[in-house]
A = this chain, B = another copy of it.
Amino acid sequence: MGIKRLVYMRGELEIEAKFKLERVEDVEKKVKRIADFVIDKIEEDIYFNSEFRDFSKSDEAIRLRKDVEGVSLTYKGPKIDKDTKAREEIKVRIFPEDYERMIDILEKIGLKKFAKVRKRRKIYRKGNILICIDSLEGLGDFIEIEVEDLDLEKAKAEIFKLVKILGIEKAENIRKSYLELLIKSGLLNTSNDFK
């Protein structure tokens, strides 16, 4: 395979894979054995769409996240890999007191609220690997494994090595975002939430 060179990106490269968990307790027990617990939190995300480019078609996302750690605005570019959710990610931290005002500015410059996604996330770390155990009402439990590395192929190898250790079926790999999964399941009213 050799090392693939990445296209130039202004943001970071987010390399992660996601799997549906039928028995979250079993997997989490294994995770706890090999990784350190970081945080257990509720993440509240608002996704925006653009008035002049349909992000659902361009496979982009703008997300405003609020949780106990703070508020952040994140741009996600189109996915670039067939096996993972790898994509460009640009993240900016906002002063938490300015959360509502950030929404207002985004709406002024041509974005519109599209959907809200709320989940419980438990994060574990093993070296440069972040492991998230996520629970979404109606959707169930998931594991997201993210490797902080600039080399896509190397990161993928690490992800799928861990997947094997945890006894997860590689075939259950889900490239859709939670937003896409919620829409697909009819669990989300998308923009109707804000009417």
Q: Which B residues touch A108, using CB under 8 A? A: 60, 75, 77, 90
Q: Decide yes or no whether A105 CB sits under 8 A from chain B.
A: yes
Contact present for A101 and B52 (CB under 8 Å): no
Q: Decide yes or no whether A140 CB sits under 8 A from chain B.
A: no
In chain A, positions 64-117 with a C-beta closer than 8 Å to chain B are 73, 75, 77, 90-95, 97-98, 101-102, 104-105, 108-111
Q: Give the contact-size bracket for chain A.
A: 20 to 34
Q: Which B residues touch A10, using CB under 8 A? A: 104
Contact present for B94 and A93 (CB under 8 Å): yes
Most chain B beta-carbon neighbours within 10 Å: one of A51, A60, A90, A109: A109
Contact present for B90 and A92 (CB under 8 Å): no
Contact present for B104 and A75 (CB under 8 Å): yes
Q: Decide yes or no whether A135 CB sits under 8 A from chain B.
A: no
Q: How far does the Cβ of A101 sit from chain B's closest Cβ, in whole Å?
A: 5
Q: How far does the Cβ of A85 sit from chain B's closest Cβ, in whole Å?
A: 18
**Nearest neighbor of A60 in chain B, beta-carbon distance:** B108
Determine the distance from Cα of A90 to Cα of B50 in the docked complex, in whole angstroms.
20
